[in-house]
Amino acid sequence: MTTEAEPQGTVVRYEPRGAARELFRTRASEVAMAGPAGTGKSLACLFRMHLAALTNPGIRCLIVRKTAVSLSATTLVTYEKKVAAHALAAGIVTWFGGSPREAAAYRYDNKSRIVVGGMDKPEKVLSSEYDLVFADEATELTETDWETLGTRLRNGVLAWQQQMAACNPAQPKHWIKQRSKRGTMTMLNSRHHDNPAYVRADGTLTAQGADYMAKLDALTGVRKLRYRDGIWAAAEGLIYEGWDEAAHLIKPFKIPDSWTRWLVVDFGFTNPFVCQWWAEDPDGRLYLYREIYRTKRLVEDHAKDILRLVTDDDGEWTEPKPRAVICDHDAEDRATLEKHLGLGTWPAKKGVSDGIQAAQSRLKVQGDGKPRLFLVRGALAEVDPLLVEAKKPTCTEEEITGYVWAVKPGGEAKEAPVKEHDHGMDCVRYIVAQRDLTATTRVRWL
């Protein structure tokens, strides 16, 4: 596909196939590009928006993800390098970093705008009206998020208003799948042969495609079904069956200084190093509110990152210090962490079965209508691009729905989880075991 946008005379070349071609034709008010990883879903939506902005002066568009940090690290990189590179270089499109009164945006010289932002900080992005909205990795959003975005489609410069989503499949009961079943949303099923970078017109793989498909073929379990085969699949033998995003995944909030804080660490280098910040309220509920989840960094560098997140320029702590730093048992890594943090560490209680049972118990909704364990949305401090490329979990939240029981050769479930993509889950066990399974000394003051 080659299009020329007036008055700039910009030539944009893009070859949409399959579902991508259908995306450019449909005028459905809600449309989802869904399919395996690497089929060009996000690219198609970004080109759709970029071309609309070039050829329709004065329109307003929005690119959004659940968190602003994930948008900057993924979607906007694709936009700048693969979609709008020529327009940015020519000055036809310029970047505006935002101000107290206006959201960050790509400004087109024909007065069109593409605003960018995350639903973790919705004030600016939801304060305006749009002609097109694109939600990348839309499975991260709640249905309320999606419907709220839809209420902003009222700018009226385009003759048609549209809300687009790009996503990999999730569990079959996910709201995107159910919305498409009800006919509220048009689902376009994207496949690898839709991506000319990976598959030639004759169906053979390019060198880049062969390398990428090999990575997908190496996936296992539910992740392979979703990312390789494009199936809306639930994990068999799911350990935390009580996990419910509506109940356990909550919006960021200001945590009172009076709440107890904990740090929980699982060491790794090739596998992710995980550091979780937990807050405990007066009723004993636990909240995961910040997280480091990174590969290929030394413990001493992680320690610097930890301190950077909790101290000011003078080295003063900006939040309460943790009551304890609970760690995996590696003695050398613990010593290194203690040296660079200036804090002592406690060895984690690592019993797997009792730790899982205690965590399962905390996920149950109690008589007051609340569970006793929560994850705060947007807790991840920094996205690891290596994990994104490998289609592996990038945070604890992404591990939960793939955390399953191992199966014996005869098909019987073992009393142990599959030891894969479980680094954040180990930390969850450690903090729950520390609070619920560790005997405490009772002291009576006279």
Q: Mind listing the pLDDT tens digit for each residue in 233-283?
A: 888 888 998 888 778 999 899 999 999 999 999 999 999 999 999 999 999
Q: Checking phi first, is residue 391 left (phi over 0); if not, alpha (psi -120 to 50) or beta?
A: left
Q: Strands, DSSP E only, in 281-424?
A: 286-294, 325-327, 346-347, 373-376, 405-407, 413-417
- How many whole angstroms from its chain centre is CA 158? 31
pLDDT grade, residue 445 (50/70/90)? very low
- Distance, in Å, from the CA atom of 302 to the CA atom of 300, rounded to the nearest integer, reads 5
pLDDT at 438: 79
Is residue 36 over pLDDT 80?
yes
Question: 416 vs 325, which has greater pLDDT?
Answer: 325
pLDDT confidence bin for 7, thresholds 50/70/90: very low
Q: Does residue 11 come out as left (phi exceeding 0), alpha (psi in the -120 to 50 range) or beta? A: beta
Q: In what order do the strands lie in the sheet with 60-65?
A: 93-96, 105-108, 113-118, 60-65, 132-136, 162-167, 30-34, 186-189
Tens of pLDDT along 113-151?
Answer: 999 999 988 888 898 999 999 999 999 898 999 999 999
β-bridge pairing 286-294 and 273-280: antiparallel
The DSSP secondary-structure symbol of 101 reads S
Residue 388 bridge partners (DSSP): none
pLDDT of the residue at 413? 56
Beta strand pairing call for 2-5 and 10-13: antiparallel
**pLDDT tens digit sequence for 99-123:** 988 899 999 999 999 999 999 888 8
Q: Is the pLDDT of residue 388 over 60?
A: yes
Output the pLDDT for position 6. Answer: 45
| Residue 35 near residue 191 (C-beta atoms within 8 A) | yes
Half-sphere exposure at residue 388, Cβ-oriented, CA atoms within 13 angstroms: 11
pLDDT at 184 over 70: yes
Structure confidence at residue 281 (pLDDT): 97
Q: Which residue, 114, 122, 112, 106, is CA-closest to 68?
A: 122
In this structure, are residues 293 and 385 in contact, taking their beta carbons and an 8 Å threshold?
Answer: no
Amino acid at 260: T
Domains delineated in the chain: 2-197 (3.40.50.300), 245-436 (3.30.420.280)
What's the pLDDT band for 407 if we cut at 50, 70, 90?
confident
> How much of the chain, in percent, has pLDDT values that exceed 70?
94
- Which residue in 144, 151, 60 sits closest to 103, CA to CA? 60
Based on its alpha-carbon atoms, the radius of gyration of the chain, rounded to whole angstroms, reads 23
pLDDT score of 440: 52
Whether the per-residue pLDDT at 442 is higher than 50: the answer is: no
Mean pLDDT of the chain: 91
Helix/strand/coil for 132 = strand
For residues 423 and 387, what is the distance between their CA atoms, to the nearest angstrom? 13
The residue type found at 120 is D
Residue with the two structure tokens 């159910």: 178
For residue 171 the two structure tokens come to 């569990």
Q: Which of 166-175, 266-275, 313-322 has the lowest mean pLDDT?
A: 166-175
Give residue-wise pLDDT tens across range 38-94. Answer: 999 999 999 999 999 999 999 999 999 998 888 998 999 999 999 999 999 999 999
Residue 172 has pLDDT above 80, yes or no: yes
pLDDT tens sequence across 208-230: 999 999 999 998 888 899 999 99
| pLDDT above 90 as % of the chain | 75
- How far from the centroid of its chain's Cα atoms is residue 400's Cα? 13
List beta partners, residue 263. Answer: 277, 325
372/328 Cα distance (integer angstroms): 23
Residue 410 has pLDDT above 70, yes or no: no
